[in-house]
Structure 1
Amino acid sequence: MPAPLPKCPRCDQEWVRAYRFKDDGAAFSLCAECDSLWWQQEALEIAAARFLDDVVAERLGDCNPWSTRVWADVIEPVNECR
């Protein structure tokens, strides 16, 4: 049985789930409620959180990455069933 999902330490409203970038498979954890992102090796702490928009903008070199894209164009959930 998989381990229970952790609750987001930033918003305390949603579970933090595993995602990856489609282009290179870089894994991260994401709260879909507040868009907080943690790289795979980071502890789920408020101080380590980044915002998805900022990370995507930096990776794509586009200050407004969602003007012509949606999440499904850039990221995908990782299957949590192992």
Structure 2
Amino acid sequence: MSTPPICPRCGQDRLHRYRFKSDGAAFSLCTECDSLWWPQTTTDIAGALFLDDVVAARLGEEGNPWTTRVWADVIEAVPDEG
């Protein structure tokens, strides 16, 4: 199994695989700076999105989506294949 890459935005953590519980849509996430990349995008600073923005848009909300929920309500880590 290969080591996940270091986050290009913050350089503080590795990118880990997560998915949305609602539909299983997978993405890479830096849990240090909350940067998100969809599988079809290049994992660089220009392609990064912020988890809060993506979650709010998926839920049809504006602003902070975490006022009435926590990450575990919305996303989950993808288990390592191995």
Q: Normalising by the residue count of structure 2, what TM-score does the alignment of the two structures yield? A: 0.94
How many correspondences in the alignment? 81
Q: Give the unaligned 5+ runs of structure 1.
A: none
Q: Deviations over 1:28-58 (max 9, x none)?
A: 0000000000001212100000000000000
- For the aligned residues, what is the CA RMSD? 0.8
Q: Distance in 1 between matches of 2:17 and 2:42?
A: 13
- Distance in 2 between residues matched to 1:16 and 1:43, nearest whole Å: 13
The answer for the alignment partner of 1:49 in structure 2 is 48
Q: Distance in 1 between matches of 2:20 and 2:7?
A: 20
Partner amino acid, structure 2, of 1:74: V
Inter-partner Cα distance in structure 1 for 2:70 and 2:60: 16
Calculate percent identity across the aligned residue pairs. 64
The gaps in structure 2 that reach 5 residues or longer are none
Deviating above 3 A after TM superposition, structure 1's stretches of 4 or more consecutive aligned residues are none
Within a 5 Å distance, the mapping from 1:1-80 to structure 2 comes to 2-63=1-62, 64-80=64-80
Shift of 1:3: 1.1
More displaced stretch, 49-58 vs 35-44: 35-44
